[in-house]
Each structure stands twice: as structure tokens, then as C-alpha cells.
Structure 1
Amino acid sequence: MPNAPKTQHRSVRFDDDTWTDLLVAAKAQGADRAKLLNEFAAWYLRRPGAKLPARPEPPKP
């Protein structure tokens, strides 16, 4: 089956500004929101080998 994801789709709630800022920050690091959220969840749950995702540089004024 083409384009069959390996994981189940889940819904989470974020305010619009946070969701947009997360997209911008993820793209700046060559990642996407799902990847960052999965990395954070694995770290939070203390999964073996999991590391806290790198934080983006703060925006320049």
C-alpha cells in the first residue's frame, strides 16, 4: 500500500502561534514537528538511548 505510515495518526492541541513557531524551528533544523515531538516523548519517557532534541537558536531581534 503506497504511502502507508508506520505509526498511527494522533491529535494534540497547541495554540496557533506555538504550532507555527514549532514548524519554523523544526524546518530551521532540517526536521519536522512529528520528529521533534517523538524525540521529546522518547526522552521524557526515558526510552533507552533517547536524547532530548536540540533547541533552536532564539530568533534574532
Structure 2
Amino acid sequence: MTAVRPADFAQPGTSVLARIPQHDATQLTRGGNQALIILDDQMYQLRITRAGKLILTK
């Protein structure tokens, strides 16, 4: 069996990063510094620090 790399599925002229969904953290927080993200039945908190870093906690 031969392993297939994700890049093998790329369309010509399309980078792998261009096909990954992108979200602006400031839009997720609606201009604030916190947002809640739900995955299945788990809730996570996304926080933008004063230094402009992202922290994701459960």
C-alpha cells in the first residue's frame, strides 16, 4: 500500500494553506478579547492576551 500525502490532492496552483479555512480572531471575539468555541459537547475559551497571543483553554 502506498501512502498518499495531502499535497498530492492539491489542485494545480493551489497551496495547501490556501485550502484551510481561515478565521480572524478579532471577528470571533467581536472586537473583544474572548470567545467561546464549542466542539461536540465540550466548551473551550479562546482568549487574546495583551501581548496579542492566543490562548485556547478547556
What TM-score, normalized by structure 1, do the two folds share? 0.23
> Which gives a bigger RCO, structure 1 or 2 (Cα 8 Å, sep 6+)?
1
More strand by share: 2
